[in-house]
Structure 1
Amino acid sequence: MKKSKPTVLVLGSFHMSEHKELLSEKRQAEIEEVVAKVIEFRPTKIAVEMTAEKNDLLNQQYREFKLGRFSIELNEIDQIGFQSASILGHDKLYAVDWMGKSRMGYGEVEQWLKENQPELHKEIYEGIFLPELTSNKSVLEYYRELNDPVWLAKVHKMYLNMARIGDFSNYIGMNWLSWWYERNLIIFSNLTRLMNSDSDRILFIVGCSHSAIITKFLEESEMCEIADPLGYLS
Structure 2
Amino acid sequence: MKKIALLLVFTIALTTVSAQTKKKQILLLGTFHFENPGLDVAQINTFNVMSDKSQKELEIITDKIKKFGPNKIFVEWNYQKQDKLDKFYNRNTDSLLHKKADEIVQLALRSAKKLGHKKLYGIDYNDADFPYDSLVKGMTAAKQFDLIKKNEELMKKYETDQNKKIAKYSLTELLLDVNTKAANEDNISWYLETAIKGGKTDNFVGAYLVSEWYRRNLYMYALIQKLTESKDDKIMVLLGAGHTAMIREFVEHNSEYEIVELATVLK
TM range (shorter): 0.7 to 0.9
State which of 77, 84, 98 in structure 1 corresponds to 2:104: 77
1:117 maps to: 144
For normalisation by structure 2, the TM-score amounts to 0.77
More helix by share: 2
Q: Number of matched residues?
A: 232
1:30 maps to: 57
* Structure-2 change in CA distance of 1:83 and 1:100 (3 Å): same
1:105 maps to: 131
Query: Secondary structure, in 3 states, of the residue corresponding to 1:204?
Result: strand
Tell whether 2:32 aligns with 1:6.
no
* Structure-2 change in CA distance of 1:231 and 1:122 (3 Å): farther
8 Å contact kept, 2:128–2:216 = no
CA shift for structure 1 position 199: 4.3
8 Å contact kept, 2:78–2:124 = yes
* Structure-2 change in CA distance of 1:164 and 1:202 (3 Å): same
Paired residue type of 2:181: P
Query: Unpaired runs of 5+ in structure 2?
Result: 1-16, 37-45
For normalisation by structure 1, the TM-score amounts to 0.87
CA shift for structure 1 position 172: 1.8
Matches within 5 A, 1:25-174: 25-66=52-93, 70=96, 73-102=100-129, 105-110=131-136, 112-113=138-139, 116-122=143-149, 129=158, 131-132=162-163, 133-161=165-193, 162-174=195-207
Tell whether 2:216 aligns with 1:183.
yes
Query: Secondary structure, in 3 states, of the residue corresponding to 2:70?
Result: coil
2:234 maps to: 201
Q: Which range moved further: 156-165 or 74-83?
A: 156-165
1:17 maps to: 35
Which whole-Å CA distance do the structure 1 matches of 2:48 and 2:95 have between them?
A: 24
CA shift for structure 1 position 96: 0.6
RMSD over aligned Cα, in angstroms?
2.5
CA shift for structure 1 position 134: 2.8
Query: Unpaired runs of 5+ in structure 1?
Result: none
Query: Secondary structure, in 3 states, of the residue corresponding to 1:168?
Result: coil
Which whole-Å CA distance do the structure 2 matches of 1:228 and 1:167 have between them?
A: 40
Paired residue type of 2:81: K
Which whole-Å CA distance do the structure 1 matches of 2:260 and 2:136 have between them?
A: 33
8 Å contact kept, 1:10–1:205 = yes
CA shift for structure 1 position 107: 4.2
> What fraction of aligned residue pairs are identical, expressed as a percent?
28
CA shift for structure 1 position 166: 2.0
